[in-house]
Structure 1
Amino acid sequence: MKVARQAKILELIENEEIETQDELAKQLKESGFHVTQATVSRDIKDMRLIKIMSKSGRHRYAPFRDAGGNQLSERIVNVFRESVVSIDYSGNLVVIKTFSGGAMAASVAIDSMEWSDVVGCLAGDDTIFVAIRNQDKVVDVVEKFKKLMK
């Protein structure tokens, strides 16, 4: 339940400008997660979420990154690791299969990685298509994803 809830948190903060714990708790409740403010607070701490300034000028929750700007917190990597079932590729597309409902959270982690070889990704319910800039780099990117799963 915790992994699913934290995966939903990643999805929510990626798609919404959530400024407060109350807003996050409300969104989680609307998504079917019965949480208290204390649970949300623990999740924020556990996932090392921070507040950043959004384009609209509001503060919003976002994943913490190190000074290099391209490292995911351990918790976000864990959400990716625990969501992904398999990884395959064809041409310049990587296809990542997740448990049902896990694709959005895993894609948030992929987007947060900001790998230069990744053009972007498209997530459904249990499948993510990741477009790779150069077909020669596909195997390298697949290996990076597989390392995250270990």
Structure 2
Amino acid sequence: MSRSARQSKILDVLSRRSIHTQEELVDALKGEGYDVTQATVSRDIKELALVKIPDGDGTYKYAVQRSAAALSAKQLTVLRESVISVSVAENLVVVKTIEDSAPAVSGSVEQLGLQGVLGVIADRRTVLIVASSAREAALAADRINALA
């Protein structure tokens, strides 16, 4: 189990259910087949920049701190309907899109203000994201996948 896969699973779990404590997250990951410790989950929470937000019942739950709120509904729709795949190679993220959608996807990605992203370029069907490190590229890909 790689860190990237585990962190992707954390984002997936948070998108499906409310998690209030690190212990709940450990239990949820174990239920998904990941053998993790609280210390590992704590590091992942820090690396993913997760925050706690009100859950509506007086408690707080973990959530992804992303600039998605800054995206318009149209930009989110562009990401959800246009992205075909997201791949990582070292410090590069390659986003494949449907025909003629890459420029719009590129704009949405730039609007996210992803940490560690040095630049974003696009042609008609492909967006290339250059990150400052392989770790930052993996985190950027996870964020894009979480929105797409």
- Report the CA distance between 1:50 and its aligned residue: 1.1
Residues 16 and 114 (structure 1 numbering): CA distance in 2 closer, same or farther, change over 3 Å? farther
For structure 1, the 5+ residue unaligned runs are: 71-111, 129-135
The equivalent residue for 2:71 is 115
**Structure 1 segments of 4 or more deviating over 6 A?**
none
The one-letter code sitting in structure 1 at the alignment partner of 2:106 is E
How far 1:114 sits from its partner (Å)? 4.8
When structure 1 is superposed on structure 2, of 10-19 and 112-121 the one drifting more is 112-121
TM-score by length of 1: 0.52
- Alpha-carbon offset, residue 140 of structure 1: 3.1
Q: How many residues align?
A: 94
Instruction: Summarize deviations over 1:64-93 as a string: whole Å, max 9, x none.
Output: 24xxxx2xxxxxxxxxxxxxxxxxxxxxxx
Residues 56, 114 of structure 1: alpha-carbon distance in 2 compared, 3 angstrom cutoff = farther
Please name the residue that 2:129 is paired with.
149
Distance 1:140 1:18, change over 3 A: same
* Secondary structure class of the residue paired with 2:20: coil
Shift of 1:63: 1.8
Q: State the Cα distance separating 1:127 from its structure 2 match.
A: 5.9
Q: Normalised by the size of structure 2, how large is the TM-score?
A: 0.53
Report the CA distance shift for 1:119/1:42 in structure 2 as closer, same or farther (over 3 A). Answer: closer
Structure 2, gaps ≥5 residues long = 87-99, 110-118, 121-127, 131-148
Q: State yes or no: 1:44 paired with 2:45.
A: yes
Quote the RMSD (CA, aligned, Å): 2.9
| 2:21 corresponds to | 20
Q: Aligned partners of 1:19 and 1:30: how far apart in 2? A: 16
Once residues 16 and 43 of structure 2 are traced to their aligned partners in structure 1, the CA distance between those partners, rounded to angstroms, is 21
